[in-house]
Amino acid sequence: MTPSIRWLAGAVGGHRRAFVSTLVANLLAQLAALGAAVTGAWLVGRVIAGRITPIDVAGAVLGGLVVVAALAAWWETYVAHDLAYLVLARLRGQVFDAVARIAPARLLGRRSGDLSAAVLSDIETLEWLFAHTLAQLITAGTVLTVGSVAAAMIHPLLLTVSLPLAACVLTVPLWLRKTSRRQGDELRAATAELTSDVVDTVQGVRELTAFRALERRRRLLALKTRRLARAQAANAARGGLEAAVTDLLIAVAAAGTLLLVATVIRTPADAPVAMVLAASSLGPAAQVALLLKEYGTLRAAADRVHTLVTTPANVPPPREVEEVSAGPDVVFEDVRFRYADDGPEVLRGVSFRVPYGKTVALVGASGAGKSTCVSLLLRFWDPDGGRILVGGVPLPRISGLHRHVTVVPQDVHLFAGTVEENVRLGAPDADAASALRTAQLTIDPELPVGERGVTLSGGQRARVAIARALATEAPVLVLDEAVANLDTDNEARLAEALQEAAAGRATLVIAHRLSTIRRADHIVLLEEGRVAAEGSYPELAERLSHLFARRPS
Ligand SMILES: Nc1ncnc2c1ncn2[C@@H]1O[C@H](COP(=O)(O)OP(=O)(O)OP(=O)(O)O)[C@@H](O)[C@H]1O
């Protein structure tokens, strides 16, 4: 059993009662069906022997067993799916927690469609394990044992044909185990790739239309669909082959059992019962073989989900927690950082301070390391050297960092919902109207914004994001190129409003506009991951004019 399958089997542990109900229902259905078959066979034997009376008791038993088998099968379907969906809901929760824990640092290399495939279709595949596999494997073993013991009691030789052939049936999925695994991996990978491309296509449909690239995209999707179809066909062909071999073995076993019964059972009236019991191992064996046929796909889906939920957090949780003082400042102390162990050092000993009540502008050429400073301040990563403090407390000792530091990011994400819901994202009880006023946005808070805010202009989206950050009332505000989408007039008005808001905050601005930088109390100039200069605007005017020579004012 692979670690991922073990982990999945363990997931049932939290739902013992549902699992036991599934097991009992399944066992009852299987044993009642076997009992009905044996009773029916006994009645046939009596008819063969010309002893057709008294059949009323046996007939009633048969009828009762058929009803019990049918009801138990119905009950089993219900509880098995209930169990499956309980476990799947739990797994989806775990996947969501994993995404939240490892975001955004460890998600950067993954496509959102790939994640959607893990959350949706991989987990859906696992439904098979919980609804149709675990309990069935256990009951199949029980029914096989009960049937075989009963057959042996009639005549021990009865087991000499069906039991070895049932064992052969069980080995069929093992013959092609490696192929099944490979096909399962390919199937899940092809599904994830197609999902990724479909999600990407839907998200980028405006660009595809504008650049007349829809046709090319359609061809790409057709290509990926063909890859998936090929993987499905190969998997189905192997499954079909296994099913055919299983059927063949069962037919041979049934014929052999028939001959054996004819040879060893001397009383014709007992022959039907002997036949049913001798063959009773074949049904469960075939059922298990059918379940194991799906092993490759199941294992591949389990591996993908397991990998995600066991990915460690990028930064350890806070420890030795300290309280952040009121009116905190932000201090970068000799901060060093590289994204990958073998990558270049992006920050090389960066030190600066953002005092409470002041606005500090972080400026520098593209790639100088400005956004990296923001990512570290939000603790998406921890620095390799040096430290960052908020209110005198190093970040790893701050619990609930989002209560102290809030951000207006470069790429704003608005959720489908109203303006108000988006503004209240981090503070469900906040006064959204007041935050919108501060962000200079005159808009109906009840207005739906559409998916990712498509019904708003770029400037409106930026201001909703600013209102969202202000609504949290976190004392440290980070504006990562927040006004890039506004025209000069709007930017000036918003800047005034933000200056008011900044009075009660420590504000770090990453700005590409000279006008924004001019308004800052202090400027830190980054060059290739180092602080090249810092001071007021007049002090740095010459260096900045050089840097901003080709940028808008
Ligand atoms: N996730 C990442 N993985 C690896 N390298 C990264 C990652 N993000 C940024 N970098 C690299 O780190 C360096 C600094 O990038 P950063 O985004 O901090 O610069 P920036 O000053 O904000 O640039 P810009 O003004 O263009 O946004 C760049 O060389 C960039 O390629």
The pLDDT tens digits of the residues spanning 79-96 come to 888 888 888 888 888 888
Sheet containing strand 393-394, strands side by side: 347-354, 330-337, 385-390, 393-394
pLDDT tens per residue across span 509-525: 997 777 778 888 999 99
Per-residue pLDDT band for 109 (boundaries 50, 70, 90) equals: low
Lowest pLDDT segment from 129-143, 235-249, 316-330, 378-392? 129-143
Helices (H), 472-513: 488-502
What is the per-residue pLDDT for 107? 63
CB-CB neighbours of 109 under 10 Å: 7
Helix (H) or strand (E) holding 406: strand 405-408
φ/ψ of residue 509, rounded to 5: -115, 130
CA of 503 to the centre of ligand 1 (A): 30
Helices (H), 265-292: 271-278, 282-292
Atom of ligand 1 nearest to the CA of 512: 25
In the chain, the amino acid numbered 93 is G
Q: Which of 370, 374, 381, 509 to mutate to test the pocket of ligand 1 (most atoms within 8 A of CB)?
A: 370
Taken in order of first residue, the domains within the chain and their CATH numbers are 3-309 (1.20.1560.10), 330-404+474-547 (3.40.50.300)
Residue with the smallest CA separation from ligand 1 atom 2 is 339
Per-residue pLDDT band for 545 (boundaries 50, 70, 90) equals: confident
462 lines ligand 1 (CB under 6 A): no
pLDDT tens per residue across span 199-213: 889 888 888 988 889
365 lines ligand 1 (CB under 6 A): no
Helix, strand, coil shares of the chain, percent, nearest 5, are: 65, 10, 25
CA 495 – CA 501 distance, rounded (Å): 10
pLDDT tens per residue across span 378-418: 998 999 999 999 999 999 999 988 889 998 887 788 998 89
pLDDT at 47 over 60: yes
CA of 371 to the centre of ligand 1 (A): 7
368 lines ligand 1 (CB under 6 A): yes
Position with higher pLDDT, 186 vs 120: 186
389 lines ligand 1 (CB under 6 A): no
Q: Which of 372, 411, 512, 548 to mutate to test the pocket of ligand 1 (most atoms within 8 A of CB)?
A: 372
pLDDT at 550 over 70: no
What integer is the mean pLDDT of 49-55? 69
Q: Mean pLDDT for the chain?
A: 85
CA 79 – CA 461 distance, rounded (Å): 47
What is the per-residue pLDDT for 263? 87
Per-residue pLDDT band for 5 (boundaries 50, 70, 90) equals: confident
Position with higher pLDDT, 464 vs 549: 464
φ/ψ of residue 76, rounded to 5: -65, -45
Residue with the smallest CA separation from ligand 1 atom 12 is 346
pLDDT tens per residue across span 266-315: 777 888 888 888 888 888 888 888 888 888 888 888 888 888 888 888 88
